[in-house]
Amino acid sequence: MDSIELTKKLVEIESITGNESGVCEFVKNYLENTSIQVKKVQINESRYNIIASTGTGEKKLVLCSHFDTVPPHIPPTEKDGKLYGRGTCDAKCHVATALNTLIALSKEKLGGELIFIGVIGEEVGGDDGAKKVLDELGLKADAVIDLEPMEFRLAIAQVGVVWANLEMTGEEMHITQVEDEPNLVEEMAKIVVKLNEEFQNRFNQDSLVGKPRFNVTVFQGGETPNVLPGKCVAKIDCRHTPNETKEEIYKFIDDCIAASGSKVKPDVVETSYRSPFETSEDSDIVKTFKRLYPDIELFGYEAVTDANYFDDAGIQPVVFGCGSTKVAHTRDEHVVIEDIKKEEEMLKKICKEFLKP
Ligand SMILES: [Zn+2]
């Protein structure tokens, strides 16, 4: 099947996160009767990640993409040279091009190993997918091309993302009984103001990922106007550049709490963390792209992909692919049909060049 047909087939199968089994099965069957080795990393009976490889040797290159989509399922339709539907660009066209690249190169002599990793659970953080595969297999490789809708640009860096809660608890009481007891909502507000005032002074722009971002995106406290709040929670989304560590972000939060004048010190509770990455322009993988496609735009990505898990595992990541994140996750999600072919051609060349005997 060519990559366009294959993309359509994959988009027809609903695979909202948690329900990827149809696509897992389809991909497994698609690789049957080829010389390609297929392994599963299972989450349960029907949900699994697929690892498929061809070639042998010291040098190893990974192509990674994800099977799951955000809801709702939107079946494929074609209009004006574009393929619409859920998962068209995020990320089923990439699953298709990666699979066909693997099959095509299985018939050629490579100077190393090409590994396809098809993962589940990417849209909810990757714990069941890329992270699980890397933890379980202890996979070692030189580089990974993580395939996501990047408009044919090459992401060589990605922000780190801290999610943390600031939590205050105290005694609820009728508002007429209050003497010196602090109002948690007001005390938390002082901290939020301080955090926002100080953040841009403390952290600098990065030439790749741009400006770091700090936002309090949820603020919850109080029940009713005549009761002193017994609880207040502020939730933080902080996107930092590869030049900072998460420890520096937490130090910043602590400093702001101390300087805010708040009478109550909140607990700072991390709810999630994704580390940043930056892959050098002198790395083999970036140089390979540049050699074949000198005009390719290098940039830093302000959101999160599975690429950081590979970086954590010592595998140099880049993120690449056709389609745009501007339409991914929307009702209008689509990919230009010709771009699927173009991506497949590019991937074949890049993989061959990287794994040249
Ligand atoms: Zn995606």
Q: 20-70, pLDDT tens digit by residue? A: 999 999 999 999 989 898 999 999 988 999 999 999 999 999 999 999 999
pLDDT tens, position by position, 326-338: 999 999 999 999 9
340 in helix, strand or coil?
A: helix
Residue 91, pLDDT score: 97
DSSP 258: H
Q: In the chain, which stretches have pLDDT less than 70?
A: none
310-313-318 Cα angle (round to 5): 25
Burial class (CB within 10 angstroms; exposed 0-12, middle 13-18, buried 19+) of 332: exposed
198 alpha carbon – ligand 1 mean position (Å): 33
Q: Are strands 227-228 and 173-174 parallel, antiparallel or unpaired?
A: antiparallel
> Are the CB atoms for 2 and 8 separated by under 8 Å?
no
Closest to 352 measured CA to CA, from 59, 27, 34, 30: 59
In the sheet with 334-336, reading across from the earlier edge strand, the strands are 77-79, 82-84, 334-336
What values do phi and psi take at 298, rounded to 5? -95, 140
pLDDT of residue 81: 98
pTM here is 0.93
Residue 58, classed as helix, strand or coil, is coil
CA of residue 67 to ligand 1 center, whole Å: 9
Q: Ligand 1: distance of its center to the CA of 306 in Å?
A: 9
The C-alpha angle 142, 148, 154, rounded to 5 degrees, equals 60
Residue-level pLDDT at 33: 87
For residues 135 and 307, is the Cβ–Cβ distance under 8 A?
A: no
Residue 60: strand pairing partners: 113
Cα of 92 vs centre of ligand 1, distance in Å, is: 9
Encoding tokens for residue 71?
Answer: 């809801």
CA of 299 to the centre of ligand 1 (A): 17
Q: How far apart, in whole angstroms, are the C-alpha atoms of residue 98 and residue 350?
A: 12
Exposed (0-12), middle (13-18) or buried (19+): which is 225, by Cβ within 10 Å? exposed
Whole-number Å distance, alpha carbon 274 to ligand 1 midpoint, is 16
